[in-house]
Amino acid sequence: MRLIWSLILVGFATTAVAQVQDDNPGFFDRLFRTDNADNNEDQGGFLEQLIEDQLSDAGRTVVIDGFEGALSGRATMDSLTISDGDGVWLTVTDAVLDWNRGALLRGQVEVAEITAAEVLLPRGPLASDDTAPTPEASGFNLPELPVSINIAKLAADRVFVGEPIIGAEIEASVTGAINLADGEGTAQLDIVRLDGRGNFALDGTYSNTSTNLALDLSVTEEPDGVLANLLDLPDRPSVDFQITGDAPLDEFAASVRLATDGSERLAGEITTTKSTDGRRYTTDISGDIAPVFAPDYRPFFGEQIDLDADILLQSDGELTIDRLSLQSRVLALDGSGRIGTDGLPRNFRLLGKIAAVDGQPVTLPLPGEVTQVDRIDLSLGFDAETGDDWTGRFEIAHLVRPDFSARSLTLEGAGQIVTQGTKQITANLDFEAASPEFGAPKVAEALGDDIKGTARIDWIDGQPLRLQSLMLEGGPTTLTGTAEVAFSDEGPSLTGGVNASIGDLTPYSALADRRLGGAVDVDVTFDAAPLAGTFDIAAKGEGRDISLDDPRADAVLKGVSSLDFHVRRDATGINAVLSRLESQEASLTGNATLTSGGSEFGLRGLISDASLLLDGLTGPIRLDLNGQEDDGRNWSIDANLAGTEATITANGRLSGVYAIPRFAGRATAEVPDLAKLSEIADQPLGGAIKVTLEGQTDAEFDDFDLAVDVEGTGLSTGSSDLNTLLAGDLTARLRALGSAKSAQISDLSVNTGAMTATAQGRIAQGASRIELAARLRNLADFAAGFPGPLAVMGTIEETGQSTMNIALQAEGPGGSRTSVQGTAQSDFSTAELDLNGQAPLALANRFIVPNTIAGRSDFDLRLSGPIALSSLSGRISAPGARITAPEPGIALNDVDIAVDLSGGRAELAIDGAVQDGGRFSLAGPLSLTAPYPAQLALTLRQAALSDPRLFQTDVSGTITVDGPLDQGARIAGNLTLGETEVRIPSSGLGGANAIPEIVHLNEPPPVRGTRRRAGLIGQSNGAGGGPAFPLDLTISAPNRIFVRGRGLDSEFGGALRLAGTTADVVPEGGFELIRGRLDILGRRLELDRARITMQGSFDPWIDLRASTQADEYLVIVSVIGPAGNPDITFSSDPDLPQEEVLARLIFGRGLETLSPLQAARLALAVRTLAGRGGEGVVGKIRSGTGLADLDVTTSEDGNTAVRAGAYLSENVYTDVTIDSAGETRLNLNLDLSPSVTVKGGVGNDGDTSIGIFFERDY
């Protein structure tokens, strides 16, 4: 349209000044001229700029240079270029247009000359940035053409066409001429390749008066030519194609010839002859076309293909096909027919077959994937002289393609063609695809074993064409419908309706890669005029119990869901209304109106309960999305997503919707109470947070400018360390601009009450540079004992495609510092870094809980090679360190640590003092690569080891660890024990069972962390979790191993060898009794035997026996078991119960004759010997005396006490305690309720007490 207006402007200008033109330049010549006669700068004339402005558009720039002679009828220009975002795609140089402007007013185009020196077309233009159709329907219009066209000369010395246009580059010259006027036409065109490898020639004339047609068309190219590439001919042969003929149409004959590589492939004639009843057209073309096709297709054609046709077009318009035959090696197609002047057939017969003689599958010459069939049969028949019925059948046997195959495809049809009276055509069609496969078993599973369909089509003269019924059925899916096609001068119109029903979605599960369920039923009605571009479509549907194998989606879609949608396009635009898309738990409604420059839309959604989507959320979620388009096809967007726990809003401007979308605006997400999201995060959260994103970006992030701001108050998580960092208010900001390939970070900052961090720089492939700085206000918050700030700063810069320079510095309290300098690969696969400085050892404490280490480490290291320990060299030293291990009760002081790293090995030299006495040292090499072979020696020099509950000793000797640690190194050595005391601990004998394991419900992370650090959370010992280390340890102590406790006083001596492995310790030898005795309330028993060995847990194992004579009984006391909890048993000969044996041992009489005081003394003896747990001896004494409680305890000052208690009523309890010092105390408890108790007590020393207690179990 802009070009037309430009030409009109030129025409008016020409008319206005035609009478004043002479040899001298006129006003308009001076206005339009672009030569440099009057100035030294090529400013371009007014017309030149006008045409450029009119032809240029978004994404298209037209530049014209040297435009002259616009008013003289002979226009020339030096060059014309058309460019887009990728540059110039069309160039025309030295162009000439010599034409008759006045002829345009008569509807004629008269051009004496169109020539150019060069036409360069290296590629096609890019798609327009605004290629979307207008919403309004344009209606149907026929194109308008001029009355005549006459171009006397068309020429271009050089035309270059790039490979993207035709598949290969070509340079050619073009000459020609065209004349269409007064029923006469001539056309002449010669295209000659400049490299001499081919040409295209067309020379044709036709006269309506003489009906003479002269045609000479030839295409000749050498191998690998343009035509061979365009047609993708195998081996790219040479091509020679000709059509020639010169005669009136009543006796015209055109010779056709096609040859490749010099061999004739097709030849024949197309002739027209006049007869008394019309004009007859015959075709007789044959040849060996197979070599032109790919080798897989050649068996289809064989060595000969024949096309034979004889068609008569009668003067009254009736068409008779006397003969139609197409034959090849596997193809046979024969037919005939007659079509009356009314366009209805009077008869037809068509028989076709594709089948190999040997019965093998036939490869069809179709583009794309290889298609094979066993057989194709076609038959159609009708003869009005014998009746109105017609029949037809089309069948394909065993169709095989990679993307589709079927055992058979069948289409059968029958109906009537009524040619007399009211003309009518009917068709009843049946379709079946047996055993279809769609390239994937998942599709076949969804559509079932067979797909069947029927259709009934009716047409009555003067009425629309009607699809009375349509039905397709496959698996659980049924498609039914009706349609009507009406024809008018405005073009066809289509109305109808379709119903799609899926009774069970389960068969579609494999196709969806998830288990589906439920049913769907959708009705669609439509009314459309394709040529006018109008339509009116309505869809209504219902889903029942739809499930998507997603509990959240299934909860939203449960029950009945429904759809109601309507869209219409007419001359005013497109209007769409989503009246309903809802389920029992969710709904979505909306509307859209699309018009040029005035479109708008709105969308509203609701989910009734957010917990359906995510556990932990509550309340409804509402969506409100609106958009408004302006004249420039830009959209204003406003969105709001609101729930009980969070709100998200966004607004801005969306441009380039039909090209590369670009959004500029602001989005905010706000959570006022993070505690409500604790269940989602699976940890306790607290505080409030707000995130704001502002800026602009395109959809592909090729050009963006974005800023992110984060504000948080009172933030807390389940991590104590993170809570420390988040103390106070949080503010963070990120500002970045650029593209996905290169982004500039102008501001990155994070601030809390505990730390600050900033960064800025550029992120680009091969050219990134980041400057960063961070400051922790108090390191003691993370490493106890090191108060003061920690600061980190430095730069990371890429110096190439894969290398980075790293320069980082850190400074902390107490003079601690760290420096990292060097280079690293961008993927951190290797590095060359220098690391040196000082750091507090306490930083490691959080990783070795409950153990601790204190002191300062100095390091001077170099990392060269892969990021691994084996690449380190240098020294790590820590003078005067302190190490404590609470569980084994070890504390090490003044520990000097030195680790020398080199060649993938660490040489250890560690020496220090044991807090309770003695010294130790650890030395030797350790490899830093698997399987980590080591040669370590641990030397102990009178090192004091103790467990206050069990033993105390000092150890001297050496233990070696030799071999690969990853596979089980050998542990060997000799240790000598100094004076050693093993204590058998005392314990209460109340007979109460052990406290059962406590199960903590909803345990907060801080509580669990405290229990873990205290060692109260059991860890899996996971047998087989690591390698077993071979053992060869000898522990010797000739004497001075004393075992005391519970009345036992003994001395042992000997040697013990530990063999086997750490997973299966095999002790050999032990410690034998030197002397010893056992005292029970003044009764002394001499030890008959005693032995101490070691078990796999290194807990001493005691086995001793003492005996004495009590009247006629031999009383035997045995102590067997681990030293921490041995079993003590009493036996006799003859045999008596344990409590009876004990009574006779102490009092020389039976249990039933004991007085209460003697029973108390008996309990004291049991307290001394029997240990803890279970009913035991004390329990039997308690039950025998009828007491509710009987217990014997030892106070911190060594006094022994007996406590006896009983219930006086259901809620009144009293007990009496008497100790060995003569102190007596009476206590009384009164239970007022399950939670409230009044307690009182009085002692013989005059001390009294009373109190009210509230207790609640949890």
pLDDT of residue 35: 45
Contact 322, 312 (CB under 8 A): yes
Give dist(CA 159, CA 145) in Å, integer: 28
Which candidate, 556, 559, 614, places its Cα nearest to that of 586?
556
β-sheet bridge partners, residue 213: 206, 247
Distance CA 780, CA 777 (A): 9
The percent helix, strand, coil of the chain (3-state, each to 5) is: 15, 55, 30
Closest by Cα among 275, 272, 278, 274 to 254 = 272
Q: Averaged over 487-496, what is the pLDDT?
A: 86
Mean pLDDT value across residues 1098-1126: 79
pLDDT band at 1038 (very low <50, low <70, confident <90, very high): confident
pLDDT digits (tens, 9 = 90+) for 51-74: 677 667 766 788 888 888 766 678
- Summarize pLDDT for 1136-1177 with one digit per residue, the tens: 887 777 777 777 777 667 666 566 666 655 655 554 433 444
Two tokens, residue 150: 């006459």
Span 353-360, mean pLDDT? Answer: 91
- The answer, yes or no, to whether residue 257 has pLDDT greater than 70, is yes
What does 131-144 look like in DSSP terms, one character per residue?
Answer: -PPPSS--------
**Helices 1176-1185 and 1138-1147: crossing angle, nearest 10°?**
80
State how far the Cα of 533 lies from the Cα of 135, in Å rounded to an integer: 10
CB neighbours of residue 513 within 10 Å: 9
Give the model's pLDDT for residue 668.
95
**pLDDT tier for residue 1039 given thresholds of 50, 70 and 90:** confident
3-state secondary structure of 31: helix
Res 34: pLDDT? 41
Least confident stretch, 342-351, 612-621, 666-675: 612-621
Mean pLDDT, residues 601-614 taken together: 87
Tokens 């009092």 correspond to 1147
Secondary element (H or E) of residue 15: helix 2-17
Residue 997 burial by Cβ neighbours in a 10 Å radius (0-12, 13-18, 19+)? exposed
Interatomic CA distance for residues 87 and 120, integer angstroms: 13
- Range 140-144 average pLDDT: 48
Are 187 and 176 in contact, with CB atoms under 8 Å apart? yes
Domain regions of the chain by residue span: 559-656, 660-764, 1186-1258
Kindly tell me if the per-residue pLDDT of 793 is higher than 60.
yes
End-to-end CA distance of the chain: 87
pLDDT of 770 above 70: yes
Sign of CA dihedral 1082, 1088, 1092, 1095: negative
Q: What is the pLDDT of residue 568?
A: 94
Residue 890 token pair: 């070890």
pLDDT of residue 444 exceeding 90: no
Integer angstrom CA distances of residue 1105 from 193, 1055, 1116, 1121, 1142: 119, 21, 7, 12, 15
pLDDT of res. 457: 94
Residue 1025, pLDDT score: 55
> Positive or negative, the Cα torsion across 1059, 1060, 1062, 1067?
negative
Return the pLDDT at 1220.
62
- Separation between Cα atoms, residue 492 and residue 1037, nearest integer Å: 112
pLDDT at 990: 38
Q: Does pLDDT of 988 surpass 50?
A: no
d(CA 568, CA 576): 6
**Which residues touch 144 (CB under 8 Å, ≥6 apart)?**
none
Question: Looking at residue 1257, what is its pLDDT?
Answer: 56
For residue 8, the model assigns a pLDDT of: 36
**Beta-bridge partner residues of 736:** 706, 745
Q: Smallest Cα–Cα separation from 1227: which of 1208, 1241, 1211?
A: 1241
